[in-house]
């Protein structure tokens, strides 16, 4: 039995804690808030939609499975406009159980796991851990893991300038949960009828807006709207927003103005008045930090989740990365026998995860922030051929499989040939023709994308929220 301390009760820290406690280790979790405080008085730190491989890690480590309660993310659909007003490329795919995901409120995950940890006999200590506290904890533990998110104690793990591409935020971010959009698969019939996909809207010159089916902490199926604004661009309207009402008004104006194709299905949306914390805004430079660090007294500690790496949320990868890293660290501890969990072990463990997951996932995310020519070819091919679209969108579950094809045109052509049996160049050429036809339709009719149908909310929902 190992004595392991984990600082931070976000979903990545609590997942590792549950896995280790279930495996019989002596786990101490330190959290600045108690379980009710996290659930009821904080905002979720992100949408945290995760896909099949990450869901499997959660189950493997013994955390609660919300499968029967939430809407699956059983599809991904993309509308791409090079500029606002131009409706050009669109494609989507359903996702089978080997890929489909779910977005469960991280506040609910943390709450449930903190309760579970108490039941498992783990020690849960409430209070902010400062550097002196960390020193004492690390001195008394065989292993100390810091999972305090992007802030907290992350300063102990310096940003890696070689591995971090950006020194400034690439987007200003906002997120809000809403009810009143159907969650039974009828909302976005213009995209993937009968399903609850992530619905992306990518605007070359303005940023991204997307919707994700979401399980709210109180058990209600809702939608999470995410806004990624290029600084100074037309979506950059969040600076003066300070409360739920302001967030909802800003979100509504952006959706109505810039995504008219989805607005009919979203026009009855309402804020969650019962949860004033159901929104978020902020900005950060996507960064890779050191996987291990030393306290001033020389004790080695290792990082986990957002403390190790913060991805821009454009591809929804941060939470999934934290889950997989928790699984990876869990496996390394289990494989270590009675061996030392020292700095060398930490570095070896973290480096292996960096190579296998963080590096390709960080590149995957950054590709969508500023798509290079090779990636634009793949998007164009996906517009032409459903098999390309299906394989491309599956990489949201396994970002490493998106390379080298997203970064290299020749590799992309090979990959398209493997997907379709046709030459990459010919599929891309078909896509370009489709784009030209879309441009013509856009010019003549003023639109190209399918419009959603208006769906009034069910009466009992409207009654229960009035
Ligand atoms: C708008 C947005 C959308 C996103 N969408 C997605 C998505 O769809 N899919 C996806 O995979 N990821 C997404 N992400 C990223 C994802 O939400 C985060 O990566 C994830 O929630 C981070 O979890 P964590 O456990 O590492 O850290 P956190 O959730 O930040 O948890 C850290 C915990 O540590 C506590 N703490 C901090 N300091 C101390 C201290 N000194 N002592 C004790 N406790 C402390 C905090 O209170 C908190 O409870 C999104 C992010 C944003 C901003």
Give the nearest ligand 1 atom to 128 CA: 42
Q: Whose CA is nearest to atom 50 of ligand 1?
A: 46
| Tens digits of residue pLDDT in 193-223 | 999 999 999 999 899 999 999 999 999 999 9
| Helical (H) or strand (E) element with 137 | helix 131-139
Reported confidence tier of residue 460, pLDDT bands at 50, 70, 90: low
Distance CA(448)–CA(441), nearest Å, equals 6
Q: With a 6 A CB cut-off, is 316 part of the ligand 1 pocket?
A: yes
Average pLDDT in the chain: 95
Report CA(175)–ligand 1 centroid distance (Å).
14
Reported confidence tier of residue 393, pLDDT bands at 50, 70, 90: very high
pLDDT of res. 458 = 66
Task: Give just the sign of the alpha carbon dihedral 307, 311, 313, 316.
Answer: negative
Which part of the chain is CATH 3.30.9.40?
75-101+167-283+453-465
* Average pLDDT of span 115-139: 97
Reported confidence tier of residue 408, pLDDT bands at 50, 70, 90: very high
Report CA(36)–ligand 1 centroid distance (Å).
17
pLDDT of res. 152 = 83
Pairing of strands 75-81, 198-203: parallel
Q: With a 6 A CB cut-off, is 41 part of the ligand 1 pocket?
A: no
Q: With a 6 A CB cut-off, is 106 part of the ligand 1 pocket?
A: yes
Which part of the chain is CATH 3.50.50.60?
3-44+106-165+285-367
Give the nearest ligand 1 atom to 304 CA: 26
CATH 3.50.50.60 holds for 3-44+106-165+285-367:
yes
Q: With a 6 A CB cut-off, is 286 part of the ligand 1 pocket?
A: no
Q: With a 6 A CB cut-off, is 319 part of the ligand 1 pocket?
A: yes
Taking Cα atoms as reference points, which of 149, 144, 396 lies closest to residue 289? 149
Q: What angle do CA 446, 448, 450 make, to 5 degrees?
A: 120
Q: At the topology level of CATH, where does 75-101+167-283+453-465 sit?
A: D-Amino Acid Oxidase; Chain A, domain 2 (3.30.9)
Give the nearest ligand 1 atom to 50 CA: 11
Ranges 93-107, 311-325, 365-379, 444-458: which has the least confidence: 444-458
DSSP string, 1-24: --EEEEE--SHHHHHHHHHHHHTT
Give the nearest ligand 1 atom to 106 CA: 21
| Tens digits of residue pLDDT in 288-345 | 999 999 999 999 999 999 999 999 999 999 999 999 999 999 999 999 999 999 999 9
The residues, any chain, with a CB within 8 Å of residue 19's CB and separated by 6 or more, are 60, 61, 62, 63, 326, 327, 330
What is the number of residues in the chain?
A: 466
Distance CA(50)–CA(23), nearest Å, equals 24
Q: With a 6 A CB cut-off, is 278 part of the ligand 1 pocket?
A: no
Q: With a 6 A CB cut-off, is 361 part of the ligand 1 pocket?
A: no
Report CA(462)–ligand 1 centroid distance (Å).
32
Distance CA(359)–CA(338), nearest Å, equals 30
Reported confidence tier of residue 139, pLDDT bands at 50, 70, 90: very high
| Tens digits of residue pLDDT in 228-285 | 999 999 999 999 999 999 999 999 999 999 999 999 999 999 999 999 999 999 999 9
pLDDT of res. 456 = 77
């Amino acid at each position: 039995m190992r004595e392991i301390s984990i600082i931070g009760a976000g979903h990545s820290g609590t997942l590792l804690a549950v896995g280790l406690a279930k495996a019989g280790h002596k786990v101490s979790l330190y959290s600045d808030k108690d379980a009710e405080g996290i659930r009821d008085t904080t905002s979720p730190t992100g949408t945290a939609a995760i896909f099949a491989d990450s869901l499997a890690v959660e189950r493997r480590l013994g955390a609660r499975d919300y499968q029967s309660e939430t809407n699956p993310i059983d599809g991904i659909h993309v509308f791409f406009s090079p500029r606002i007003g131009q409706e050009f490329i669109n494609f989507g795919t359903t996702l089978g159980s080997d890929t489909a995901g779910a977005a469960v409120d991280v506040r609910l995950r943390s709450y449930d796991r903190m309760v579970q940890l108490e039941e498992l006999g783990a020690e849960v200590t409430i209070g902010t851990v400062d550097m002196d506290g960390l020193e004492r904890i690390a001195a008394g533990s065989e292993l100390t893991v810091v999972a305090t998110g992007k802030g907290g104690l992350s300063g102990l793990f310096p940003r890696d300038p070689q591995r971090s591409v950006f020194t400034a935020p690439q987007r200003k971010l906002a997120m809000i949960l809403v009810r009143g959009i159907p969650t039974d698969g009828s909302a976005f019939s213009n995209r993937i009828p009968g399903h609850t996909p992530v619905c992306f809207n990518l605007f070359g010159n303005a940023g991204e807006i997307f919707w994700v089916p979401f399980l709210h902490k109180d058990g209600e199926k809702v939608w999470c709207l995410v806004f990624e604004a290029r600084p100074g661009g037309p979506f950059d309207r969040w600076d003066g927003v300070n409360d739920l009402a302001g967030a909802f008004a800003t979100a509504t104006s952006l959706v109505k103005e810039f995504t008219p194709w989805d607005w009919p299905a979203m026009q009855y949306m309402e804020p969650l008045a019962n949860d004033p914390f159901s929104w978020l805004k902020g900005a950060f430079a996507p960064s890779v930090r050191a996987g291990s660090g030393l306290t001033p007294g020389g004790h080695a500690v290792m990082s986990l989740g957002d403390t190790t790496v913060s991805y821009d949320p454009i591809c929804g990868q941060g939470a999934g990365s934290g889950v997989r890293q928790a699984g990876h660290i869990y496996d390394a501890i289990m494989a270590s026998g009675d061996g030392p969990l020292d700095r060398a072990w930490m570095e070896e463990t973290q480096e292996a995860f960096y190579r296998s997951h963080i590096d390709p996932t960080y590149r995957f995310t950054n590709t969508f922030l500023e798509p290079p020519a090779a990636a634009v070819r793949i998007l164009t091919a996906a517009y032409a051929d459903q098999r390309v679209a299906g394989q491309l969108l599956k990489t949201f579950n396994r970002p490493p499989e998106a390379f080298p094809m997203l970064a290299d045109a020749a590799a992309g052509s090979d990959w398209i040939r493997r997907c379709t049996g046709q030459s990459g160049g010919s599929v891309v050429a078909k896509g370009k023709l489709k784009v030209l036809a879309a441009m013509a339709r856009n010019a003549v009719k003023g639109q190209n994308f399918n419009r959603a149908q208006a769906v009034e909310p069910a009466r009992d929902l409207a009654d229960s929220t009035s």
